[in-house]
């Protein structure tokens, strides 16, 4: 799953990004959300999440994004008000590709020196024949 900052603002510089990731991990444990791996770049985060039977993507993303926005603003981690975009990107991953996805998430800094998040999503959509849905 991927979440992007509002207006793609570069809020998640390395120091802030690491604090946010640690907080998301801790909060997810409290809410019984299993985050296998999480990392990102200055305007987005990717997370490899294993959903339980009664969890769905929409609810999990709301819990993660809503609470992390609240936490960032409550503790004034940024000079400006922080928020995530309303949308997110999610795909399922077969067990045989989990290690490849972990490596991809781990190497976000290097990856995005070559390609922006928007370029990456457009390439992914074209490569796999997906459509953008507005909800």
Domain residue ranges of the chain, discontinuous segments joined by +: 2-128
What is the CB neighbour count within 10 angstroms for residue 20?
21
pTM given for the model: 0.88
Share of the chain above pLDDT 90, in %: 60
User: How confident is the model at residue 113, as a pLDDT?
Assistant: 85
- With 70 as the cut, is the pLDDT of residue 83 above it? yes
Q: Residue 106 — very low, low, confident or very high, per pLDDT cuts 50/70/90?
A: very high
Share of the chain above pLDDT 70, in %: 97
Superfamily of domain 2-128: Transposase IS200-like (3.30.70.1290)
Give residues with Cβ within 8 angstroms of 133, minimum separation 6: none
């Amino acid at each position: 799953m991927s979440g992007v900052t509002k207006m793609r603002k570069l809020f998640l510089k390395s120091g802030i990004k690491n604090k946010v990731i640690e907080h998301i991990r801790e909060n997810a444990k409290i809410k019984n959300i299993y985050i296998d791996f999480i990392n990102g770049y200055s305007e987005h985060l990717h997370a490899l999440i294993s959903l339980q039977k009664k969890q769905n993507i929409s609810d999990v993303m709301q819990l993660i994004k809503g609470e992390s926005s609240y936490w960032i603003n409550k503790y004034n981690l940024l000079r400006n008000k922080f928020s995530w975009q309303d949308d997110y990107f999610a795909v399922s991953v077969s067990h045989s590709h989990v290690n490849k996805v972990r490596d991809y998430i781990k190497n976000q800094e290097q990856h995005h020196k070559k390609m922006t998040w928007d370029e990456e999503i457009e390439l992914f959509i074209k490569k796999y024949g997906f459509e953008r849905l507005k909800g």
